[in-house]
Amino acid sequence: MKYSAVLGLFMLLAACAHAPVEPPPAQLFSDHLFSAPSERISADDVFALSDGMKRYLETEMAGRLLNKGLQKGLIDAL
């Protein structure tokens, strides 16, 4: 009984012992500070490989990906 009372007291104290959460700064969401994009970019453009990236993938990465698998090979490359 004494043990559970002490445990309950500690749980009540721990519940009150968190730092207050501050709201994000107002300038963080100031969209007027950014200009509109000059051209539309699609998801395919974002993830497209350049010629240099393709060459690296075919020469440097191919062996690692075949030997270690896709995930391990990518982690090793990073």
Tens digit of pLDDT per residue, the chain (78 long)? 788 888 888 887 777 667 788 888 877 788 888 888 888 888 888 889 899 989 988 888 888 888 888 888 888 877
Q: What is the pTM of this model?
A: 0.42
Tokens coding 70: 């896709």
pLDDT of residue 51: 94
pLDDT of residue 52: 92
Q: What whole-number distance in Å separates Cα of residue 43 and Cα of residue 31?
A: 22
Contact 19, 27 (CB under 8 A): no
Largest CA distance in the chain: 72
